[in-house]
Amino acid sequence: MPVQRTDALAVRSASDVVAVRQLVRTRAQEAGFNLVDQTRIVTAASELARNTLDYGGGGRATIELLTEPGRTGLRMLFEDEGPGIPDIELALRDGYTTGHGLGLGLGGARRLMNDLRIESRPGKGTRVDAVRWR
């Protein structure tokens, strides 16, 4: 997939989560997503960035604008060097949380995006790769 544009942001504080949302919103607008899709992508970015911060102990976000013949997409990569996710299926289950949230963020983000992949190694970190096509 040809990458048209890449932005990298640190995710180290709550204000960084706001910065990620704002950048994703701008890129989604540029990619021509409609308002509903923009809101879906921004909301997914918010969930994933906060997971990186709260559970991964901080990390980084990479936002890519993708172009393929006939379609445009937005890819969001969230990486951390935190404790990792021991059971990814369980983490994706609605209502399951190891924190104090609703336990809907990760599963919700997967429903909001077209494709969401999680790679995690306990003790090494987590990498969440999410794409939405227009």
Does position 52 bind other proteins by CB under 8 A? no
> Of 13-32, which residues contact other proteins (CB under 8 A)?
14-15, 17-18, 21, 25
3-state secondary structure of 133: strand
* Dihedral of the alpha carbons of 17, 21, 26, 29, in degrees to the nearest 10: 160
* Six token digits for residue 80: 């951390």
Q: Which of 81, 104, 129, 133 binds other proteins (CB under 8 A)?
A: 104
**In angstroms, rounded to a whole number, what is the distance separating the alpha carbons of residues 96 and 78?**
20
Does position 132 bind other proteins by CB under 8 A? no
For 39-49, give one letter per residue: b (16+ CB within 10 A) or e. ebbbbbbbbbb
CB of 108 to other proteins, least distance (A): 4
Q: Which of 46, 52, 120, 126 binds other proteins (CB under 8 A)?
A: 46
Helix, strand, coil % (nearest 5) of the chain? Answer: 35, 35, 30
Q: Which of 47, 64, 79, 80 binds other proteins (CB under 8 A)?
A: 47
Does position 58 bind other proteins by CB under 8 A? no
Q: Smaller CB distance to other proteins: residue 50 or 60? A: 50
Q: Residue 86: name the closest of 54, 124, 46, 129 by CA.
A: 124
Q: Which residues bind other proteins (CB under 8 A)?
A: 14-15, 17-18, 21, 25, 35-36, 38-40, 42-43, 46-47, 50, 94, 101-102, 104-105, 107-108, 111-112
